[in-house]
Amino acid sequence: METLTKTEEKVMQILWGIKRGFVKDIIERLGEPEPPYNTISSLVRILEKKGFVDHKAYGKTHEYFPAISKMAYRSFTFKNFVANYFEGEPEKVLSYMVKEENLGQTEIQKMLELLDEKEQQQNIKNDEH
């Protein structure tokens, strides 16, 4: 999998949201100024070549849909983000968030609950082996 450009990602966000659609459906959701049909059509075909989009043909008309889930791309992007900006160490992400994002008690509590939940899952896995 490869990283998408900002414009490609915008198109994918639309397709993930609508599940299936024609080029005109994507253009309608891109907002003003409305991009040329051929530009978006070419972009969708590029996404198809990259393996992000697939289509169903109705004669000369194509209905497009995501070939990769939003969750799969999110996971790929986040792993790259951690690798490129936090030396591949997830704890540095958490440290950054705590220090730089002015987290409130509610957000900190949610993080602690997630960490506890993960620890419990790890313990269950370890007990099974």
pTM, two decimals, is 0.77
Phi, psi of 85, rounded to the nearest 5 degrees: -115, -15
CA pair distance 124, 44, nearest whole angstrom? 44
104 falls in which pLDDT band (50, 70, 90)?
confident
Per-state percent for the chain, helix, strand, coil, to nearest 5: 65, 10, 25
Average pLDDT over residues 34-57: 96
Average pLDDT over the chain, rounded to whole? Answer: 91
- Percentage of the chain with pLDDT > 70? 99
Q: Which of 43-57, 64-78, 91-105 has the lowest mean pLDDT?
A: 91-105
